[in-house]
Amino acid sequence: MAAKNVSILWEAVDYIRVEEITKAFPQVDFIDVSSGTVVDSEISGDIFLVSPTRDSDQLPKFLDKGIKWVHIMAHGVDGLPFELLDDCVVTCSRGASSVPIAEWVLTMVLAHTKKVPESWIVEAPKNWFLAPLETLSEATVALLGFGSINQEVAKRLEPFGCRVVAFRRSKNLNSDAGVEMVSSLKEAVCDADHVVIGLPLTDDTDQLVNDEVMKLMKPGAHLINVARGDIVDQDALLNNLESGQISRASLDVVSPEPLPDGHWLYSDPRVMLSPHISWASPDFLDCLHDIFISNLEKWLSGMPLDGLVDTGEGY
């Protein structure tokens, strides 16, 4: 393990347990550069630990302080100034929230399939014993992107006997057991009963799920987004909900966040909307901490880091 002193610029957050880290790594110093903190203009640092809520406009002023490694405490990295990061190693907390997000996706798929909550009753219905419920058995689920989140989604869909198709831009189209890998967005969505967006937000994916893509989907498809709101053209979504081309949209992410008061997404009965909470789990913050600690130990030892980000690709 390296013996030299190492400085970490960070925004003070409770889930990074500084006393625990400095006890384990006495050569590490933390320098608080939280928004609103008076920061010495002469400071320098080796590592920049970025909170996901930090104003991205404030990041560039710290990147010329000798920073060699930038780690963001989040899965998504679309707020980072990649044009300034060519000389840095960049990592993210990839995988920390994959399981709870996958569980949220499966909940939405089952809720739509079994008409929950609309099938609950508070008085005698017109007909007992009858309901237009569907089944996941032999249904087609399209996964847009096949990173850690949609890989966990695929695992949880396997016992239901549905067909799972995954769209991946990567040249690596090796299929996981029970998953059909395709490189065409049209091929992925054309027969899908459920479409799950798990793509990173980049210049290529901004507004990717637009009117044209929605029209390629099976009429009555269910659209689920747990990635970034800007991947979906929300005006096109409204039009396709009104026409019935999309029967339900289950959204944990929208644009902007938070939505302004009175926005149509709050009140449309065909939209199941949650406030970007699909990641939430009792141990999520511990996972963020543990991922950083594991990478810190590797960085100090000169070992390759986990969660590497391709600054050219933007994810």
Q: Are 314 and 82 in contact (CB under 8 A)?
A: yes
Residue of 228, 248, 270, 313 marked catalytic: 228
d(CA 84, CA 104): 35
Taking the C-alpha atoms of residue 158 and residue 177, their distance in angstroms, rounded to an integer, is 9
- Considering 20, 138, 257, 297, which one is annotated as catalytic? 257
- In the annotation, is 163 catalytic? no
CA torsion 141-146-149-154 (nearest 10°) is: 40
Block residue for tokens 């809720």: 111
Q: Report cis status (omega within 30 of 0) of the bond before 52.
A: no
Write down how long the chain is.
315
Handedness of CA 70, 74, 77, 79 (dihedral sign): negative
Q: Indicate the residue type of 42.
A: E
DSSP per residue, 120-144: --SS--S-SS------STT-EEEEE
Q: Determine the Cα angle at 195 with ends 174 and 254, to 5°.
A: 120
DSSP characters over 242-292:
HHTSEEEEEES--SSSSPPTT-HHHH-TTEEE--S-TT--TTHHHHHHHHH
Catalytic residue among 276, 289, 297, 313: 276
Would you tell me how many other CB atoms lie within 10 Å of the CB of residue 27?
13
Judge residue 184's burial from the number of C-beta atoms within 10 Å of its C-beta, 0-12 exposed, 13-18 middle, 19 or more buried: exposed
> Amino acid identity of 292?
F
Closest C-alpha to 72, from 80, 63, 62, 64? 80
Residue 257 annotated to the active site: yes
Residues with a catalytic annotation lie at 228, 257, 276
